[in-house]
Amino acid sequence: MKLPGSTGRLAGAALPLIALLLAGCASSGAVLSAPRSQYGAATPEQAVRTFLDAASSKDYERMGQQFGTRKGPAELTLGARDVEQRMVVLAAFLEHGGYTVEAGAQSLLESYERRFQVHLTGTSRGAVTVPFVTASTKDDRWFVERIDLDPLTHSGGS
């Protein structure tokens, strides 16, 4: 499943779709579908790596367990089904042949956030650099909070 496609037309049309899919929707009473210890990671880089490895193997549940905010797993506010649907879309955009992760500039971030530059190879756009931001919860679990998909949806991204 390749959502970005080979033409700029689909990529341009995909941006509003991604914005809509990733928009937060609060729902009350959501419960975690797995033990809390399976959510997030011990370090911010581990959260990014686990998320990307899960995306490569299309393990949407595992991707979702690494996706959240300072308040915890996204599953708490969106529900497991919603998160899994969003991970299917993200995995399609993040399809790659390999990656390296390096710490990015920490300016303009909150104290509980960390930025990473992820260098992806073998994407539909070739080699690109995709910014990731992770967030730490009060109990020191790290989640992928934001991913800038622009380099994967616009020509000239690197």
Q: Answer yes or no: is pLDDT of 17 > 50.
A: no
Instruction: Output the pLDDT for position 35.
Output: 66
Amino acid 31: pLDDT: 62
> Confidence band (pLDDT; 50, 70, 90) for 5?
very low
Residue 142's CB: how many other CB atoms inside 10 A? 24
Task: Return the pLDDT at 30.
Answer: 59
CATH number for the region 63-158 comes to 3.10.450
Residue 38: pLDDT over 70 = yes
Which amino acid does the sequence have at 26?
A: A
pLDDT tens for each residue of 147-157: 999 999 976 54
- Looking at the predicted structure, is the pLDDT value of residue 3 above 60? no
Q: What is the pTM of this model?
A: 0.78
CA distance 30 to 2: 31
User: Is the pLDDT at 34 greater than 70, yes or no?
Assistant: no
Say what the pLDDT of residue 4 is: 37
- Burial of 6 by CB count in 10 Å (0-12 exposed, 13-18 middle, 19+ buried)? exposed
- The confidence score (pLDDT) of residue 106 equals 84
> Tell me: the pLDDT tens digits for 75-93?
998 999 999 999 999 999 9
Q: What is the pLDDT of residues 90-135, one digit of tens each?
A: 999 999 999 999 998 888 899 999 999 999 999 999 999 999 999 9
